[in-house]
Structure 1
Amino acid sequence: MEDVSDPPFRYVCKQNGVDLMYTEFISSEGLIRDAAKSIQKLDIFEYERPIGIQIFGSNIESMREASAVASKANPDLIDINYGCPVKNVACKGAGASLLQDIDKMVKMTKAVVEATHLPVTVKTRLGWDDSTKNVYEVAERLQEVGIKALTIHGRTRSQMYKGEADWRLIRDIKRNPNIEIPIFGNGDVDSAEKAFAWRKEFEVDGIMIGRASIGYPWIFREVKHFFNTGEFLPGPTISERVEVCRTHFMKSVEWKGEKVGIFEMRRHYANYFKGLPNSKDLRNRLVSLNSVVEINHVLDEISETYSEVLVG
């Protein structure tokens, strides 16, 4: 969720009922060198709580120092990313790469736990590839060095985000009598019905939703409503889509400045208006604009033009 789960995005997710959020993952090397982009990612706000700061890296000592730096920002927990599969992270010895060296992963995790007074959690995958699905061992060994919860994405690194997430091994870990920490499942949860069914089937303590919330923060309220009532909550109206998109946009400009805020919001429009007639043309218009006034004008136009349109 790099360049996605920033404060403006987290704001609209919180407004729609998310229980726990994490920052974008932050490079340990960037933190200890005071890189501007990394330091900015430490920005958290009281309304976001509970919130965790997620860090990643390949050097144990750098991760130890980064844990201490991140702790000073006063989050509710520190999370270590051992799951990111992208080349410029995993091929530099960080993220999912640590699944190839469990001993180093354990030492790194121990260093992070010892460097902070906060709870430490971990996000990882099933393994590096189909022949090395070692997350069962990972869960036991990381629990031994003090992590307080483990989130598992139901794919290997080699799968990236292709194919279907397999939660069966996640359930096996939850059933392991040696595991006492909460186990959270992640991967392919994109509806309230699926969240409910998979939590029951795979016996996890909770569910992490990532990609399905991009441009659709309403998924959190829909999941919670279904869990509480067994009924489906109607999706957002066009007016609501526009207003939440506008809130996200204005928060982006407020936090990042007009130029950067406008530019970085462009990745979200397609998801906010997915399913609308001419959605591609709408997105192309929005990403071509460079002023707050012009973008708000187009958002007003969308609300007026499509107020009677139902989006499934």
Structure 2
Amino acid sequence: MRIGIHEISGRLFVAPMAGVTDRPFRALCRRLGAGYAVSEMVSSRRELWRSAKSVRRVDHAGERGPVAVQIAGVDAQEMADAARHHIDRGAQIIDINMGCPARKVCNRWAGSALMRDEAQALRIVRAVVAACRPHGVPVTLKMRTGWCRASRNAPAIARAAEAEGVALLVVHGRTREQGYGGAAEHDTVAAIKAEAGIPVVANGDIDGPERARDVLARTGADALMIGRAALGRPWLFGQIAHFLEHGRHAPPPATSDVARWLLEQLHAHYALYGEAAGTRSARKHIGWAVRALPGGPGLRAQVNALADSRAQLAAVAAYFEALAERHARLPEGAAEPGGNAP
């Protein structure tokens, strides 16, 4: 499939998740089977463009293209200016965030709050597309099914966004009111896909091979976007891709491979964030990786008490070395994609 001029390999995308999908995580997911990844959300507010957090979130150094940056905001001109800013710094695709349910985002009427004001949402879409078009940069839109159950207006917004020139739609199968509670419904995604002349991507509760197959069949979606189910399990993308292609499950990953992948991610993580911040923020990635493994809670408690990256690396290496002596591959259940996803 294509996003504008960009050919995308595969049908599995990494969902943008603030505080999670940084460059090391994106790169690892793509190595292990994801065909496309979008940056963490960055604010469109001009005064934040050059903040350390924003700069780090759009750090794509050495990353395989296309480079996609997700922007969030409420003012159409500000969003257009932000799009130009990121294009000047290497963005090849601009993604509009109309799906984030976080209160601090919605309180500013950004993210999924925009779905309550269709006119403003489309002003933003129009302005961003106009800003990107002269550069040949396609615009994508990530949204929810609506604001609440009584207002599932994603199909109407999708039609209007396509008419304005959006190149691809991603639809999370929950309303903003649901947050991440309850179950995702993909009938709305199917309705959008039935009308759309551009690629449509399904998102929400895609936590394993069978679920991926079923959502593709139910919706007719061109691709799937996976987020929380991949936390600590970046090999999920490869396992789903194997199942979709061959109709059978891939074996669980080798414990030694999981250790190597995590240690490589941690080295890149510390390099990106620096010693102090990197050691703190690495704790969650380690915790996700071992949460369902034997002795995982103990390692998590250990690394949470360590303030030195070398000590963290040593603890992780020792843990997996001991685990590999007992389990050549990750124990069944612990290695199931999404089996313990939040």
Name the residue aligned to 1:165.
Answer: 184
CA, structure 1 residues 147+234, in 2 after alignment: closer, same or farther (shift >3 Å)?
same
1:139 matched residue in structure 2: 158
User: Which residue matches 2:215?
Assistant: 198
- 2:12 corresponds to which residue? none
1:301 to 301, 318, 322: 318
Find the partner of 2:56 among 7, 22, 40.
40
Please tell me the residue identity of whatever aligns with 1:251.
A
Q: In structure 2, what is the equivalent of residue 218 of structure 1?
A: 235
Which residue is 1:256 aligned to? Answer: 273
> Residue 269 of structure 1 is aligned with which of 256, 275, 286?
286
Q: Of the candidates 120, 130, 141, which is equivalent to residue 104 of structure 1?
A: 120
Stretches (4+) displaced over 6 A: none
Post-superposition offset of 1:37: 1.6
Q: CA deviation at 1:295?
A: 1.4
Give the match for residue 77 of structure 1.
93
Letter of the 1:211 counterpart:
R
Deviation at 1:101, TM superposition (A): 0.4
Q: Contact 1:191–1:223 at 8 Å: present in 2 too? A: yes
Q: Deviations over 1:166-215 (max 9, x none)?
A: 00111011112xx2011110000011221122101211111000111111
Report the CA distance shift for 1:30/1:236 in structure 2 as closer, same or farther (over 3 A).
Answer: farther
Q: What SS does the aligned partner of 1:47 have?
A: coil
Partner of 1:187: 204
Matched, 1:286 2:303: yes
Q: CA deviation at 1:76?
A: 2.5
Out of 87, 93, 106, which is 1:90 matched to? 106
In structure 1, what is the Cα distance between the partners aligned to 2:61 and 2:245? 28
| One of 26, 35, 44 as aligned partner of 2:42 | 26
Supply the distance in 1 between the matched residues of 2:79 and 2:246 (Cα, whole angstroms): 43
How many residues get paired? 310
In 1, Cα distance between equivalents of 2:40 and 2:181: 22
**Sequence identity, in percent?**
31
Aligned to 1:155: 174
| 1:57 equivalent in alignment to 2:69 | no
What is the alpha-carbon distance in structure 2 between the residues aligned to residue 202 and residue 212 of structure 1? 20
**Structure 1 gaps, min length 5:** none
Farther off after superposition, 78-87 or 188-197: 188-197
Alpha-carbon distance between aligned partners in 2 of 1:66 and 1:15, rounded to the nearest angstrom: 29
- Cα 1:196–1:7 change in 2 (3 A) is same
SS in 2 for 1:92: coil
Q: Distance in 2 between matches of 1:82 and 1:300?
A: 40
* Number of the residue aligned with 2:8: none
Aligned pair in 2 of structure 1 residues 209, 251: CA closer, same or farther (>3 Å)? Answer: same
SS in 1 for 2:149: coil
Distance across 2 between alignment mates of 1:135 and 1:284: 42
Distance 1:30 1:212, change over 3 A: farther
Q: Distance in 2 between matches of 1:96 and 1:175?
A: 23
Give the CA deviation at 1:226: 1.1
TM-score relative to the length of structure 1: 0.96
